[in-house]
Chains A and B, each alone.
Chain A
């Protein structure tokens, strides 16, 4: 029998059957798409951002980065908010809420003035959706009164949050832009303006590739291109960093956070949850693979919970957050030498090359046996372990203490994938 675990979670007071939501993007643009995603198993949707402004899009509008034949390491998107009339979008959201009452509809909105934000908030209030997300972070708007140009300005964020929350009691989520040094500042401003919580990250301003045919960036629009948002697996580390910053903030960290950025698998999802996110949003992986990816996200997460003995997501949400500490608080009294498996080693010499060219010349190369041999130069950096192509060939070995330092029990990582 397939493993069954309760994936439900309460996010900003709203009961969600699972934490997997579509982020506000092309993947949730109309009735049919959202209906299909709900039926595939997504817990909710941030419906494609609605404004008074109706987007006029360019063609083409996407690009992707790849590495060594692996496509979609990262993804670039030039699409703005919805290109459908505002009323049509509200009509769609209404029908979806009527037809799928067990799923969570989040109206994503974006105004270009206080008046527009108020107007949109009022429309959401009439709709009666359980949550509203304010898009303060789209980096490719054709108007500078909207998107990430607003999200990097804490005064405007606060003002527009106040505009929305003055019109409705529906909990309001402010979606943050990563195109900023300290996200805590606009996040706090959003809460001061009445937002119930924040979500992060939106896409990162990027140039993915330069096209040599037209001598411009990708995608090529009539020989020209623009800076626009980058997403997908490549941005997950940046997303996790901002999530950590916000959750460790004494004010923002007290509120429920929705995590976004490069989530493709149950593992990615579990990472955001382990940091403390109560909700997860996905787009890029859906653009590449479709809604069906939620099946393995749910199943994989259930198996993880089974293995770890968790019955509820709340039992492990946030459990990794306090183990991320400032660099000055790390124990620096020891080094862990790498252990080389003679049996598993293929003799490729990659550890030798990397150690010599990029670390501490701590590996001698036995050319006859085609095997690495560790010498006394090793500082325990584990570059060799990271570069070795064979699973569990190089593993953490002996612990060496720096002279005169106190010996304590060392928590180790044993298994590398």
Chain B
């Protein structure tokens, strides 16, 4: 019989390094010249530099490098798709396996917390008045950069807590809330103000010298199939948010199906399993090779006893008032048919943008995302945007990277306007 891992919903699934094991791992690092790993990080976290710091007994310096380059260093250490970024670039792959860069990053940030370090600082006297719409990764990155440059920044957030997708959209066994809170505390430490439970309308933004929209993608994207209105049908965002908010008080159902092939699908399945579902399956329409999810996360789901079926797309949800079964048809294989009984089905098939014209009065694309250039500029001079709401939904580290670029554009804009 195969051994299935027993885990807890809120406890971090992966154990971190101690000083000794971190040193052992850092000793495996080849300390490359012009290191490929550092080139592999979209946010410029500079793993080559912080691993070298760990190797040379300078944990504090390592934390400083991470934090200065990536305000969400603790979070990215957990949720980055390392196997496609820095770790894939790692020269050590040519000998055996890459350095566990994410885990070393986590270690350094844990030291930052243990030492009570305050790595970043902002000028005490601040100028201007900048708003960030949404308290997700992109906004947090922008707010930190602007605060460091000496601007007053207010983050306007609809929910009761900051973090956006980090707080409401990822299973805590992968990203514990304490890690998110520690990262956000760094932003607060720079003097950024948070205004919660605040729905933003375009007119509210007039009062600000510049505005950043990092609203994320929070609208459901349910397929138009029979039975989609039944009780027990969830969009991933709602499922994860409810799970995260109610935690052990949330009943995911006994038989849970998750449709999708990304990390969000895995997060939904893992949440369901860890919150007591007896049978959890992920069904994805394409092949595992084509799946956008991180292989490490699929491995983890498998270790929990979560099954995976590929090549099948949902055709209809069956039930009387509530979900009883789901019919699938082959996505490419026309002969394939599958019916699975279920009391919950979660669609982790991407999210859509909400009405951004109403929120910020900016031009949107035909997909509803904000039309912004690579520097974060929109059609309205003082409004900038980046992150999922612009790129259509990518990774946290890419949101941080885009936020840093947008912040630089905003600083240039504010200076041009004489706000400095």
Chain A contacts to B: CB under 8 angstroms:
66, 68-71, 346-350, 352-353, 365, 367, 370, 389-390
Contact = CB atoms under 8 A, between A and B. Distances in A.
Given A69-B20, A69-B21, A346-B95, A389 B27 contact: no
Interface string B8-32: 0000000000001111111100111
Contact of A390 (B21, B55, B95): B95
B93 to A, nearest CB: 8
B94 interface: yes
A346 B24 CA distance: 21
A349 B33 contact: yes
B34 interface: yes
B88 to A, nearest CB: 14
Contacts, number: 49
B34 to A, nearest CB: 6
A390 B94 CA distance: 9
Given A346-B91, A347-B91, A389-B95, A69 B24 contact: yes
A348 B23 contact: no
A385 to B, nearest CB: 15
Interface in B358-395: none
Given A68-B27, A69-B21, A346 B33 contact: no
Nearest 4 CB-CB pairings of A with B: A349-B33, A69-B23, A68-B27, A69-B24
A104 to B, nearest CB: 39
A353 B34 CA distance: 10
A343 to B, nearest CB: 10
A350 B23 contact: no
B33 A348 contact: yes
A367 B34 CA distance: 8
30 contacts: A66-B23, A68-B24, A68-B55, A69-B20, A69-B22, A69-B23, A69-B25, A69-B26, A69-B27, A70-B24, A346-B30, A346-B91, A346-B94, A347-B32, A347-B36, A347-B91, A348-B30, A348-B31, A348-B91, A349-B34, A350-B31, A350-B32, A350-B33, A352-B33, A365-B33, A365-B34, A367-B34, A389-B30, A390-B94, A390-B95
Nearest to A66: B23
B26 A68 contact: yes
Given A346-B91, A346-B95, A389-B95, A68 B23 contact: yes
A71 B24 CA distance: 10
Contacts of A71: 20
A7 to B, nearest CB: 35
Interface string B29-49: 011111010000000000000
Nearest to A367: B34
B21, B24, B26, B91 pick with most chain A CB within 10 angstroms: B91
A353 B33 contact: yes
A71, A349, A353, A370 pick with most chain B CB within 10 angstroms: A349
Contacts of A346: 30, 91-92, 94-95
A390 B30 CA distance: 10
B21, B24, B27, B33 pick with most chain A CB within 10 angstroms: B33
A71 B21 CA distance: 11
Contact of B27 (A70, A350, A365, A390): A70
Contacts of B36: 347, 370
Contacts of A69: 20-27
Nearest to A351: B33
B21, B25, B34 pick with most chain A CB within 10 angstroms: B34
B3 to A, nearest CB: 30
A384 B88 CA distance: 26
Contacts of B94: 346-347, 390
Contacts of B30: 346, 348, 350, 389
Contacts of A390: 94-95
B172 to A, nearest CB: 30
A218 B30 CA distance: 31
Nearest to B32: A348
Nearest to B30: A348
A183 to B, nearest CB: 35
A367 B33 CA distance: 10
Contacts of B23: 66, 68-69
A316 B24 CA distance: 38
A18 to B, nearest CB: 34
Given A350-B32, A390-B95, 17 more contacts: A66-B23, A68-B27, A69-B20, A69-B23, A69-B24, A69-B26, A346-B91, A346-B94, A347-B94, A348-B33, A348-B91, A349-B34, A350-B33, A353-B33, A365-B34, A367-B34, A390-B94
A71, A347, A348, A389 pick with most chain B CB within 10 angstroms: A348
A347 B20 CA distance: 28
Contacts of B92: 346
B145 to A, nearest CB: 30
B52 to A, nearest CB: 11
B411 to A, nearest CB: 32
Interface in B32-83: 32-34, 36, 55
Contacts of A367: 34
